[in-house]
Amino acid sequence: MSSLASGSSGEPPMNEQMIIGIYNNLRSEINQLHAKITELEMEVSEHSLVIAAVEPLDPSRRCYRMIGGVLVERTVREVLPAVRRNKEGLEEVISRLYEALERKKKEMSEFEVRHGIKIRRSEMDKKDPDAPKEGSSAGQGVLVGPAGV
């Protein structure tokens, strides 16, 4: 994607449709990252609830854990560390996704500046600046291409 957007002298100049396509792909990737982060944050929340429910129990008490679609009988002593490790792993993945999201936003911002792209907000967005913008269909703006292309 970045190689297409580089605009190096060896490549033919991009037309307006190509620029719009690349820009829309960047927006789509950002929205996908947001969705994945939200999904994983929900999983971390669920892991936290399980940990809070299981921690006060007797370590030798039976509990069940779903492993690969199969319900397996274990003890609290065996399950609790595994749930904690999974939660920590999810948190690590979320932090990497946030880093990727920031890189992608920066790439999109640079692309906007390089190609003179400006977003016009709808009248509803101008009246309610606190309305959700990114990732919601109601907050979608109008893409304005570069002048003179």
Is 0.75 topped by the overall pTM? no
pLDDT of residue 125: 59
Dig out the tokens for 83 from the structure.
């749930």
Distance (Å, rounded) from C-alpha 103 to C-alpha 65? Answer: 37
**Structure confidence by residue, pLDDT tens digits, 32-71:** 999 999 999 999 999 999 999 999 999 999 999 888 999 9
Contact 96, 86 (CB under 8 A): no
Identify the architecture of domain 14-144 in CATH. Orthogonal Bundle (1.10)
**Structure confidence by residue, pLDDT tens digits, 89-107:** 999 999 999 999 999 999 9
